[in-house]
A and B are shown apart, each in its own frame.
Chain A
Amino acid sequence: MVASSGSASARRSAGRLNAPRPALVETEFDGTPRVVNRHLVALVREEWRVVDRWWTEEPVDRRYFEVVLESGQNVCVYRDGGRSCWFTQNA
């Protein structure tokens, strides 16, 4: 794979694959996504929780949703419990 040759520091260090990206999500009353990045959600296919690394200083508390948008696109989003914000990620 070919990485971006942007900055000198980026060229030398190892990077994370599949890092989460911030997402714009509007939710229903029960916390399920209704709009993801300005696209209406047609269907919530799956929902699961990941609670991990609770013994470290960076605990992971995520509520994942795999949704189908009205455009037909499959998207995976999660709400970070610690930071109270939404991200998209290929889970």
Chain B
Amino acid sequence: MIACLLIPGFELRAALRARPRLVLVPAALAPEAGEEPLLGPVTATAEAAGVKPGMRLGEALATCPSLVLVDRDPAAVEKEWEDVLRRLEDAGFAVDPVEQGAVVFETRGVERLYGGVHPALERALAAIGSTWDPRIGAAGRRFTALAAASVARPGQIVIVAEKDEQAFLEPLPLSLLPLAADRYAELEGLGLRRLGELAQLPRGAVAERLGVEGRKAWRLAHGGRRAKVRGRRPVSELAEALTFPEAIANELTLRRALGSLLERLLARPERAGRPFRKLALAARLVDGGSWRRAVTLRDATAELARLRAALGPKLSELPAPIVELRLETVELAEHTGQQLALVEPAGEEAAGRLREGLRQVRASTGTGSVCAVVEVAPWSRVPEARALVVPRDD
């Protein structure tokens, strides 16, 4: 079975670990700097006072003037989440994190060890501990497991048998689907509120009206695809940090510090010559907050100049002067050499590379960002009537 462990409002819970007294007062995670002023997760006391996650800051403060805004602490959140994942891994589960606060794992490998699905899931809950209020949903498919976890109470395990999956999903709200806000509004405008209502519509009609996203949502409303859970690769422990005697914000100093950290990281013998695939740059801010940015390299590399070029621009995103800069290895690549091509790729190989390139563009810029030029009237004397630019999502 596929199980999903959910810790709602994980970012807020992790940020409050250092300030536990705020758990009992109306508090909410502050909006991200430079983003729309929308609240993050809120405490139970704040919710009781009428404040909801995603509410506009002004509206929330008008509803509850005593609301405390908790600064985001991405470094602490990352550390706590890694701790949660390791505890599950220590209990024998191969975890596949979905996002911070949600992780999926397969129970098949440990069912015999713990004596069944339920005891195995109880072991997973016990490994996390009750302080995080975790809940677990389990089902034959990933989306159903996630849906089951989202309706479970803290500390509860909800197991959905394969034959009951469709009946279980039907009354659940559409908000469980991973859709953009305007899509929910569109679906609500069409009178759809529940997953069952969407699942009853013909697949072709949904795809025609809502496009690729609609097709995916329709498939999820039917339980989603049957896919195996692949456990994550063990995270590397390599990290280097530099603590400054006083707060610094000067870009030149920051870049020099980054260069020094890179040199130290590249010299670590544990790397065994392997190039970096993903690195994270974290900083402790002068006001006590933290900042973290992860960078995935297109080609794994151990070249100092390329690493500098990839990580350097991230330093300009620092929101305040810092007292500590930290460089962490998130993932190392396996290979130690790069084979150069003797012959330029052509035919199927070139087409495959192009497809992969377009997939990456789509992943970073969103649906509809890749377009094709379609000739509609190449004979026309009016130049703009000859061709159209049409979004291509296949």
**A complexed with B:** yes
* A residues at B contact (CB < 8 Å): 1-3, 5, 8, 11-20, 50, 52-53, 60, 89-91
User: Hey, which chain A residues are within 8 Å of B389, CB to CB?
Assistant: 1, 3, 14-17
B333 at the interface (CB under 8 A from A): no
Give CA–CA (A61, B370) in the complex, Å. 34
B388 at the interface (CB under 8 A from A): yes
Is the beta-carbon distance between A14 and B384 smaller than 8 angstroms? no
Is the beta-carbon distance between A8 and B390 smaller than 8 angstroms? no
Give CA–CA (A90, B387) in the complex, Å. 13
Is the beta-carbon distance between B365 and A14 smaller than 8 angstroms? no
User: Hey, which chain B residues are within 8 Å of A11, CB to CB?
Assistant: 366-369, 391
User: Hey, which chain A residues are within 8 Å of B365, CB to CB?
Assistant: 2, 5
Is the beta-carbon distance between A2 and B361 smaller than 8 angstroms? yes
Is the beta-carbon distance between B388 and A5 smaller than 8 angstroms? no
Contact A14 B361, CB 8 Å, known A19-B384, A91-B383:
no
A-B contact count (CB 8 A): 69
Is the beta-carbon distance between B366 and A18 smaller than 8 angstroms? no
Give CA–CA (A5, B370) in the complex, Å. 9
Contact of A1 among B211, B371, B383 (CB under 8 A): B371
Between A and B, 17 residue pairs with Cβ closer than 8 Å are A1-B372, A1-B373, A1-B389, A8-B180, A12-B211, A12-B368, A14-B388, A14-B389, A14-B390, A15-B371, A15-B388, A15-B389, A17-B387, A18-B384, A20-B384, A52-B381, A90-B383
Give CA–CA (A18, B370) in the complex, Å. 17
Besides A1-B372, A16-B387, 20 more A-B contacts (Cβ < 8 Å) are A3-B370, A3-B389, A5-B365, A5-B368, A5-B369, A11-B366, A11-B367, A12-B211, A14-B388, A15-B388, A16-B389, A17-B373, A17-B387, A17-B389, A18-B387, A19-B384, A50-B381, A53-B382, A60-B382, A89-B383
User: Hey, which chain B residues are within 8 Å of A89, CB to CB?
Assistant: 383-384
User: Hey, which chain A residues are within 8 Å of B390, CB to CB?
Assistant: 14
Smallest CB separation, A76 vs chain B (Å): 9
User: Hey, which chain A residues are within 8 Å of B211, CB to CB?
Assistant: 12
Give CA–CA (A90, B256) in the complex, Å. 48
Interface string of B186-229 (1 = CB under 8 A from A): 00000000000000000000000001000000000000000000
CB-based nearest B residue for A15:
B389
User: Hey, which chain B residues are within 8 Å of A91, CB to CB?
Assistant: 383
Give the interface centre of B361, B370, B385, B389 by most chain A CB atoms within 10 Å.
Answer: B389
User: Hey, which chain A residues are within 8 Å of B383, CB to CB?
Assistant: 18, 20, 89-91
Smallest CB separation, B124 vs chain A (Å): 39
Contact of A5 among B182, B366, B372 (CB under 8 A): B366
B386 at the interface (CB under 8 A from A): yes
Interface size on B, residues (CB 8 A): 26
User: Hey, which chain A residues are within 8 Å of B373, CB to CB?
Assistant: 1, 17
CB-based nearest A residue for B380:
A52
User: Hey, which chain A residues are within 8 Å of B387, CB to CB?
Assistant: 16-18
Give CA–CA (A74, B367) in the complex, Å. 36
User: Hey, which chain A residues are within 8 Å of B372, CB to CB?
Assistant: 1
User: Hey, which chain B residues are within 8 Å of A90, CB to CB?
Assistant: 383
User: Hey, which chain A residues are within 8 Å of B370, CB to CB?
Assistant: 1-3
User: Hey, which chain B residues are within 8 Å of A12, CB to CB?
Assistant: 211, 368, 391
Is the beta-carbon distance between B388 and A17 smaller than 8 angstroms? yes
User: Hey, which chain B residues are within 8 Å of A17, CB to CB?
Assistant: 373, 384, 386-389
CB-based nearest A residue for B371:
A3
User: Hey, which chain B residues are within 8 Å of A18, CB to CB?
Assistant: 383-384, 386-387
User: Hey, which chain B residues are within 8 Å of A3, CB to CB?
Assistant: 368-371, 389, 391
Contact A2 B369, CB 8 Å, known A50-B381, A52-B381:
yes
Give CA–CA (A8, B370) in the complex, Å. 13
Query: Which residues 68-98 of B have a CB within 8 angstroms of A?
Result: none
Smallest CB separation, B269 vs chain A (Å): 42
Give CA–CA (A2, B180) in the complex, Å. 22
Give CA–CA (A2, B369) in the complex, Å. 6
User: Hey, which chain A residues are within 8 Å of B382, CB to CB?
Assistant: 50, 52-53, 60
Interface string of B335-372 (1 = CB under 8 A from A): 00000000000000000000000000100011111111
Is the beta-carbon distance between B182 and A8 smaller than 8 angstroms? yes
Give CA–CA (A36, B368) in the complex, Å. 35
User: Hey, which chain A residues are within 8 Å of B374, CB to CB?
Assistant: 14
Query: Which residues 95-116 of B have a CB within 8 angstroms of A?
Result: none
